[in-house]
Amino acid sequence: MIVYLYIISRILINVKNICRICNSCDEIYDLRANISAGKVRSKVFKGFTKACHSLYKFDSGTERDFAIVLENDKSVLKLMRPSIKQFDIYYDPGGINRYEPNFVIETSDKIYMIETKASIEVIKRNFSCHFTLPFFANLSEFPTS
């Protein structure tokens, strides 16, 4: 897993009340439940102690694993999975593509905007970013249970 880390120097946004969970009939699972990575996208998870919301969905097993790492990390005070269109951040020439970070976390001295990518995805898409944080380069070493 590769984690791209961006430090937010100022808070310029209001938290919007937009929810990723659209189907109230979804079964709710504990964050640490034994669910294969391929099935994570279709599940709703609970059991957060540091999150701004009580329920979250994840786009991948990588994101869910990282959420568990964040929950276990004593330096993380709060975490948030931003909703779609939570931030108005655009990139590429002309600013036509919207960027949606995977996580926003707060520690005692900083707020971080985080993008996670599975290692294979980085290789396939030939991502390169000078914000890659080597400390998180191999999250398989961190306990997720």
Identify whether 144 is part of a domain: no
Domain of 98? 2-12+27-33+41-138
Identify whether 52 is part of a domain: yes
Identify whether 22 is part of a domain: no
Identify whether 81 is part of a domain: yes
List alpha helices for 4-125, DSSP H: 61-72, 119-125
Identify whether 70 is part of a domain: yes
Identify whether 93 is part of a domain: yes
Whole-angstrom Cα distance, residue 107 to residue 20? 24
Q: Which residue is listed with tokens 């080597």?
A: 134
Strand partners, 44: 28
Spell 33-47 as b/e; 16+ CB within 10 A means b. Answer: eebeeeebeebbbeb
Identify whether 19 is part of a domain: no
Number of domains in the chain: 1
Whole-angstrom Cα distance, residue 15 to residue 52? 10
- How would you write the pLDDT of the chain (145 residues) with one tens digit per residue? 555 555 544 444 444 444 556 555 568 999 999 999 889 988 999 999 999 889 999 999 989 999 999 999 999 999 999 888 888 888 777 778 888 889 999 988 888 888 887 766 665 665 554 344 433 444 445 455 5
